[in-house]
Amino acid sequence: MSNIIMVNKVIPVVMLCLSMNVSAADIEIDSREYKLLLNADLFTGDAASRASKVNDYWNALHNAIQNSTREKSAIESNASGSLSLNKNRTVSFYDVPGSCDLSNAGYSFRERVEKGKRKVTLKFRSADQSIASTKDLHGTKSKAKSKFEEDIAVSFVSTYSSSTTQKIGNSKNLNKMDDPVGLYPGLKSEDFDQHLAIKKVSDLTVNEYVYESAIVKIGGIDEIAALNTAFALTLWYNESVSTTQAIVAEISFKYKSDHGHFNSKVDTRAKALFTMMQYNPQLTHWNSTNSLSKTATIYQYDPHFCY
């Protein structure tokens, strides 16, 4: 009799574990993005000057790629296009001042405003793919878009992120925890105190300039899903302090999966490309020695915001 009772207790637990594993496996990685911080001081100047310096960086990267390809390295890539200004918007993050409840739970809550239109994004990051994939981040808006991505930083450290972006109206307030919870009901499971005030992290609104349209081909004709990688160079400025001094500069490239699967040849070339970007003598002077991500830069801009 005791054995029957034990079996009845074990089976539901086993079924729960299987259910959790299946749900994590069912969420496919949409894309893989490699991110490298650049020396922000090298992008000081007005709009024309920064565009010229972005072009200088792309020319250096383009030449390094072409030289590596001619030398028959593992990259086997071809670069084309140029980096031109494609996005001009403001960026703010929100959290609980004094405790940073969202960040401490692994979340970031971001607002972007471009051409008068507001979008918010809730993102959860984890080094554990399973944990990141099982978070409920669904939005309340009909056109909310969700992504599950792998971000790869220097030293090939991977972080997995689930995120959902949705539009909000110009009259929508973002001043209490019940605002992100109302937009993303899955946050209710975290038991945040919804009466707590939220504010812009570090009281900072960043002006973001994104330069895009450069392409590096790292996939062959039989590798359609990752035929091209799209590059973006992102510059952040705190224009309330300086319109010419960048606080963050980042170069990144990404490629999509084929329904959650990646091609091993493409992955090998992407790794070789990222390695070259970090260590090629033509490029190393462009790179930052600061290991902070863009989000971490916001949180540490005012080191007293969370404490």
Summarised one tens digit per residue, pLDDT across range 128-154 is: 999 999 999 999 999 999 999 999 999
172: Cα separation from own chain's centroid: 25
In this predicted structure, what is the pLDDT of residue 72? Answer: 53
CA–CA gap between residue 198 and residue 135 (Å, rounded): 22
Please tell me the distance from the alpha carbon of residue 111 to that of residue 170, in angstroms, as a whole number: 12
Long-range pairs, 182-186, Cβ under 8 A, ≥24: 182/140, 183/120, 183/122, 183/139, 183/140, 183/141, 184/122, 184/137, 184/138, 184/139, 184/140, 185/136, 185/138, 185/140, 186/135, 186/136, 186/137, 186/138
Q: Do residues 121 and 112 touch, judged by C-beta distance below 8 A?
A: yes
Cα separation, 149 vs 159, in Å, equals: 8
Q: Per-residue pLDDT tens for 7-63?
A: 444 444 433 333 333 344 457 899 999 999 999 999 999 999 999 999 999 999 999
Higher pLDDT, 269 or 26: 269
As to burial, measured by CB atoms within 10 angstroms (0-12 exposed, 13-18 middle, 19+ buried), residue 85 is: middle
> Cα–Cα distance between 239 and 233 in angstroms, integer?
18
Is residue 253 within 8 Å of residue 226, measured between CB atoms? no
Q: Is 153 exposed, middle or buried (0-12, 13-18, 19+ CB in 10 A)?
A: middle
Mean pLDDT of the chain: 87
Query: Among 228, 249, 240, 150, which Cα is nearest to 203's?
Result: 240
26 or 106: which leads in pLDDT: 106
Helical spans, DSSP H, in 135-263: 178-183
State CA 64 to chain mean position distance: 25
Query: What's the pLDDT score for residue 225?
Result: 47
Within 8 A by CB and 6+ apart from 235, the residues are 40, 43, 50, 54, 208, 209, 210, 211, 246, 248, 249
Q: What is the pTM of this model?
A: 0.87
The pLDDT of residue 21 is 37
- Asked whether 29 and 148 are in contact (CB, 8 A), the reply is yes
Residue 283 is given by DSSP the state T
